[in-house]
Amino acid sequence: MSLVDFSENGLFALKKIAPVLRKANEEVARWVGLGKDAVQRRERVSFDETQRRLREMVEIINKVEPRFGSYLMAYAWFRSEPLPGFSGRTTMQLVQDGLAGYVLEYIDAVDAGISA
């Protein structure tokens, strides 16, 4: 899906992301390290931190979706598969800790044929 498919009024919209992943808004927010009020309070949805976390998750899932054949499978990988070289931490844990950039670099390295 295009990034535009996950946005509304120029912002990433959890209400458009969560249904694709078949999860509740609050559940997806928690998995990227956001509190419930970050997605329930209208003014908080536009905060830089909220938008950054949602963007990072969408970028990562979009990048790996072709490998897994669906957004649901890519999301399952995001949540549960430990990444080599990251002390057994999952992509979700790294995103929660603000380390999504390392995950994107890892995916790019694997795509380029560099062993992780």
pLDDT (tens digit, 0 to 9) for every residue of the chain, 116 residues total?
677 888 888 888 888 888 888 888 888 888 888 887 777 777 777 788 888 988 999 999 999 999 999 999 999 999 999 999 899 999 999 999 999 999 999 999 998 988 65
pLDDT of residue 67: 93
SS3 at position 27: helix
Cα distance between residue 45 and residue 13, in whole Å: 8
Hey, what are 106's tokens?
A: 């890892």
Q: Judge contact between 18 and 28, C-beta under 8 A.
A: yes
Measure Cα distances from 109 to 17, 30, 53, 95, 103 in Å.
Answer: 26, 28, 22, 18, 10
pLDDT of residue 3: 76
pLDDT of residue 107: 94
pTM: 0.84
**Residue 60 CB-density burial (10 A; 0-12 exposed, 13-18 middle, 19+ buried):** buried
pLDDT of residue 10: 87
CA atoms within 13 A of residue 41's CA, in its CB half-sphere: 9
pLDDT of residue 89: 96
Hey, what are 12's tokens?
A: 């990433």
